[in-house]
Structure 1
């Protein structure tokens, strides 16, 4: 992958999302369309962004009983996404069915632990151990289920990559040096994540909310 940066286009206005995508397309490797975008614009919106010509990452974080997740995966075949997410906490059977139902050529990756969570949040939800241990447990489960890889923070990607040599690793919650972290709690720079084994770098606000999104995308691209 020549440019691992996927721009998060989670904008409520489709025209604004398309305009931003067109502006920065020469400086990113693909577009991440999340739950907000998909609920607002559906398959039509995905198709419109896909027309720009870069791969689409559908970050839907599917999490339900295996049969429902498999049916949802069948329903998104029409969008021909390059990457789709499910939650690893849905269990091995759910992940196996999601992979079996996925479109040919689509990578299915499991979300381990949201980058907006920290160890206090884990404790409050009844999970023992630290963030690193939780990510490693769920990454191992995803690998056993036959998925292509996982989503994890930049703080864990080195350890996951060491254990899963041929895995595909998506790292969100990235912030260029000196930028605000916002609602993210476990962040690293794009360069560090890439050096530690990230396959895809998901970056949103540092580009989409920059005064000059094109220059912001260029600056990030130059560090990689």
Structure 2
């Protein structure tokens, strides 16, 4: 699937999204539609972006009882996104139900969306995890546990920090996707992310896709900023 940068479309409206996408002419992008945008604009925003030829990661992080997640995924599959996700904390039965729903909702001749699971949010620190989730193992151990559970459930990969990607790839193989938020250029602010990394660090860690939001979407020249991330990934000196 496309280039290694997934642009997080963290906008509140369709107009903002289309204005942003217009700055990229006919270039095909891989973009992320999250809760903020999807809940404001609904499925129509997916169709609008797809009509422009872009790939979509629909980032809704489903986490509910297995039957509910199965039914939800059956509906989401009809949108023909390229990538969807759930929370690994929902458990193996729930993750397997998600795949069943995607299979049932994907029309004949269409490719089923890839499905990945969130391990620990990159806004979560080890201290928070231990205090608020009562998970007393080290953060990396928790992430690897969820990643193993995700693979056992038949999913295609995980959302994790770049700092855990090399470990996951070593244990679970090169075909298991690692999608990593919290990617910043050296000059960018970390924002609300706790476990951040640069594109060259992510590349060396074996990350499959890096998710980038404000560093591109809030830039005065988004296309130029996007190219900087691609170049940093490819090892081009900026």
TM-score by length of 1: 0.95
Instruction: State how far apart, in whole Å, the 2-side matches of 1:21 and 1:194 are.
Output: 26
What whole-Å deviation, never above 9, does each CA across 1:173-195 have from its counterpart, x for those lacking one?
11111210000000111222122
Instruction: State how far apart, in whole Å, the 2-side matches of 1:25 and 1:223 are.
Output: 22
| Matching residue of 1:189 | 198
1:49 shift after superposition: 1.3
1:2 shift after superposition: 4.9
Secondary structure of the structure 2 residue equivalent to 1:177: coil
Which of 205, 209, 217 pairs up with 2:214? Answer: 205
Instruction: State how far apart, in whole Å, the 1-side matches of 2:166 and 2:29 are.
Output: 22
- Indicate whether 1:139 and 2:162 are aligned: no
Q: Structure 1 stretches (4+) deviating beyond 3 angstroms?
A: 24-29
1:78 shift after superposition: 2.2
| Matching residue of 1:17 | 17
| Matching residue of 1:62 | 62
Instruction: State how far apart, in whole Å, the 1-side matches of 2:86 and 2:24 are.
Output: 27
What whole-Å deviation, never above 9, does each CA across 1:35-67 have from its counterpart, x for those lacking one?
111101110011111112111100000000000
1:26 shift after superposition: 6.2
Q: Which moved more, 1:12-21 or 1:134-143?
A: 12-21
TM-score by length of 2: 0.90
| Matching residue of 1:82 | 82
Instruction: State how far apart, in whole Å, the 1-side matches of 2:136 and 2:191 are.
Output: 26
What is the total number of aligned residue pairs between the two structures? Answer: 224
- Indicate whether 1:214 and 2:184 are aligned: no
Q: Is the 8 A contact 1:24 1:217 kept in 2?
A: no
Q: Which moved more, 1:187-196 or 1:173-182?
A: 187-196
Gaps of 5+ in 2: 234-238
- What is the 5 A alignment of 1:47-126? 47-102=47-102, 103=106, 104-124=111-131, 125-126=133-134
Q: Is the 8 A contact 1:4 1:28 kept in 2?
A: no
Which of 166, 171, 174 pairs up with 2:180? Answer: 171
Q: In structure 2, do the counterparts of structure 1 residues 2 and 34 end up closer, same or farther at CA, with 3 Å as the change threshold?
A: closer
- The Cα RMSD (Å) is 1.4
